[in-house]
Amino acid sequence: MSEDGEHIDIELYMIAHYLQHGHELKELCNLSEIEKSFMIASMLVMKKQDTENDIALAEFTGRMANPLLKSE
């Protein structure tokens, strides 16, 4: 569930994600269930890594902007 209570269709989200990365709609629609599961899991791993990288960059940027700020 999303924060507003609406259900997110992970398969549609996966299709949108891979369309943005150059895959063809026909290719994505013809995936087997195991291929869909793999593509979804891969997408979620990449999203998690991107989020962790963004957080690390924000923390680093904050330390660079505030060198006198003490770390926790």
CA distances from residue 55 to 33, 41, 49, 58, 70 in whole angstroms, order as listed: 33, 21, 10, 5, 18
Q: Looking at residue 1, what is its pLDDT?
A: 43
Domain boundaries, the chain: 10-65
Cα(72)–Cα(61) distance, integer angstroms: 16
**17 φ, ψ (degrees, to nearest 5):** -60, -50
What percent of the chain has a predicted confidence (pLDDT) above 70? 83
pTM above 0.75, yes or no: no
